[in-house]
Structure 1
Amino acid sequence: MAHSISSPNSFSPASDQVKTWVRRLVWKMAIATLLLMAIGSATRVMNAGLACPDWPLCYGQLVPTQQMNLQVFLEWFHRLDAMLIGLSAIALVGLTLWFRTALPRWLPWAASFALFLIVFQGILGGLTVTELLRFDIVTAHLGTALFFFVTLLTIGSCLSDYRGNGTAGKLPWFGLTAAIFIYLQSLSGGLVASQWALHQCFFQGDMCVVMDSHIVGVVPATLATLVTVIMAWRTPALHPALRSLANVAMLLVCLQILIGVATFKLHLQVEPLTVTHQAVGASLLGTLAMFSVFAFRDRQPHTS
């Protein structure tokens, strides 16, 4: 009797179980990426960007035990976290391709795009070392990391068990606009940081235009976020998830302004405050991205 050969997908678990696996992996990758950006910020403020003079190894070793100090550890751990995220992105692509019949058709493409971003990010990471922290490469490095972070959150939000009630109205567009402004403001902050514009402006009178542009950029980014939050508060019968995300966005934008003012007043002399400033900004961007995705899904109440 002839036996038919089954494809790998014929042994796939139930669709919901596979989606849960993928969703959990994506959320863990997103948390690791937020940590990666925070460590990257700490590496910069501690002047550790070139603590490992070579790439991808550090002093020609996987673990530079003899040269290890705080600066070397920050740069080495930053690379280690990036490598783990890269391996996770490869695993994500493999998982979505293997179980593609049990998953949404767009998911393997989205996972592949995330992998492309992390590979590109790795290339930029290498260039930051070989090009001696050139400011445009450092800024592009941050911008790609933020885009990768948002991509992961978008995938995770699309896979979440969310049932909209059709009350979001135009909130998706408000949230998306606010997220774009926050992203641009984050890039502006990256330019300020990569060129040490605040230090140069205060102590040498140079690069003040770059710093002032970042300060001015606070206004549209903050207003766009506040409009989104107020519109969410004024929307009757809004889904609790959207209302919670709006509240988180409000909390984060207020916290970000306070930290930004403190950072400015203290002339970047308190390193943990500077790192927190970037981490809160990334968290705000992620919150608005998730808000936008859920709000778009809210317009299709029966989408799982």
Structure 2
Amino acid sequence: MRRLVLTSLLLAIVVIGLGAYTRLTHAGLGCPDWPTCYGLIDVPETSIQIAAAEQAFPERHVEPAKAWNEMIHRYFAGSLGLLIAVIAFVSIKLRFSKSSKVRYPIFLPLCILGIVTFQAALGMWTVTLKLMPIVVMGHLLGGFTTLCLLFLLYLRINARRINTQGEKLAESQLKKYSSYALIGITILTAQIALGGWTSSNYAAMSCVELPICQGDWLSDLSFEQSFDLIPPNQESYEFGHLAHNERVTIHVSHRFGAIITGAFLAWLAITIFLKAKTPSIKNTATILLSLLVIQISLGVSNIWFSLPLKVAVAHNLVAAGLMLSLIALTYKLRQNSEESLYE
């Protein structure tokens, strides 16, 4: 069970990276239908296949490279969904097995299965609704949610093995900081959502100067339509539908969110590192702070070097790493090594 969850956890990270790569290469509509691609289970590449595809979908010119980006993402996401279904089945089997001496979690695997099912629906709507920003952002958050719950499941399954090694993971004087860590998760979630909104509205390069936006950016700020969740009907939302000032507003909001998130997480990581006595908690705080420094550097690099693909994908993956390290820190602060974690 532990190996199953660990494999799905690693696969979820790959899926998030592939999703970012698909979005950043503008391949979200590389296939105009779902779950097939121009009616095929792979990508039309021969002249006969391309001619037939363009006849069936005259509104979309076939671009094999973009179509492969989209389909590879679908293959990996589908594999992850199947693996999660296996985890849910095994969890039920182990939970109700008379020979099992351990009460394995059952609610969490079923919850993950439900989320990944809804995530598949969001993937379909991303195509059928032509990259509507709220759907694209929801798809991003769904991927992060799946990853985080898989990680939480791994922590719970792994907890007893850790406890039997005799390592005390909770310190009474640090338990009060678990509430601050939960606040940190909330703040980071909001910042990731802002990042998804920035990306789905193609606002990443609306500000091209540092540390502030170019020109008289304050007069460009317009919050009236910048965060409308239901946009006006468009034939397609590819490459964005908002005006420049609205994209600037979204970008600036993401920058201010980064300042708030960075300051809070830095304070949390440094404070816990200085107060903790347990090596496990110190190490987790160090990882959190290190990832935070890397993430800020990647964010600055995105602006400084005009959104290079590798840096932008890494920005998504490090955000996932930040969230996982924060979840691990919160878990350890709240954990009592004397309690059973399988209830």
Matches of 1:154 and 1:78, distance apart in 2:
24
Residue of 234, 258, 268 corresponding to 1:218: 258
Residue of 288, 291, 295 corresponding to 2:326: 288
Preserved contact between residue 198 and residue 211 of structure 1 (Cα < 8 Å): yes
Change (3 A) 1:117 1:182: same
Residue of 280, 302, 321 corresponding to 1:241: 280
1:246: how far off? 1.1
Preserved contact between residue 206 and residue 251 of structure 2 (Cα < 8 Å): no
Preserved contact between residue 198 and residue 267 of structure 1 (Cα < 8 Å): no
1:223: how far off? 2.0
Residue of 174, 182, 189 corresponding to 1:183: 189
Structure 2 counterpart of 1:80: 75
Question: Higher mean Cα deviation, 113-122 or 220-229?
Answer: 220-229
| 4+ residue runs over 4 A deviation | 103-106, 200-206
1:224: how far off? 2.2
Corresponding letter in the other structure for 1:171: Y
Structure 1 counterpart of 2:13: 34
Q: Give 5+ residue unaligned stretches, structure 2.
A: 51-62, 209-213, 215-243
Matches of 1:179 and 1:265, distance apart in 2:
28
Preserved contact between residue 31 and residue 38 of structure 2 (Cα < 8 Å): yes
Matches of 2:40 and 2:138, distance apart in 1:
27
Matches of 2:101 and 2:246, distance apart in 1:
53
1:176: how far off? 2.0
Matches of 1:131 and 1:103, distance apart in 2:
48
Matches of 1:91 and 1:293, distance apart in 2:
25
Structure 2 counterpart of 1:198: 204
1:53: how far off? 1.2
Matches of 2:340 and 2:182, distance apart in 1:
20
Matches of 1:170 and 1:44, distance apart in 2:
40
Preserved contact between residue 200 and residue 206 of structure 1 (Cα < 8 Å): no
State the Cα RMSD in Å.
2.0
Matches of 2:27 and 2:299, distance apart in 1:
23
Corresponding letter in the other structure for 1:96: S
Deviations 1:27-83 (A, max 9, x none): 211111111111111111111111111101112121225268432221111000110
Across the two proteins, how many residue pairs are aligned to each other? 280
Length-normalised TM-score, structure 2: 0.77
1:227: how far off? 2.2
Question: Higher mean Cα deviation, 191-200 or 276-285?
Answer: 191-200
Matches of 1:142 and 1:236, distance apart in 2:
34
Report SS of the residue matched to 2:204: helix
Structure 2 counterpart of 1:99: 94
Change (3 A) 1:236 1:186: closer
1:128: how far off? 0.2
Residue of 232, 257, 268 corresponding to 1:228: 268
Preserved contact between residue 165 and residue 301 of structure 1 (Cα < 8 Å): no
Q: Give 5+ residue unaligned stretches, structure 1.
A: 1-21
Matches of 1:171 and 1:29, distance apart in 2:
30
Deviations 1:228-253 (A, max 9, x none): 21222122422x22222111111100
Change (3 A) 1:262 1:103: farther
Identity %: 23
More helix by share: 1
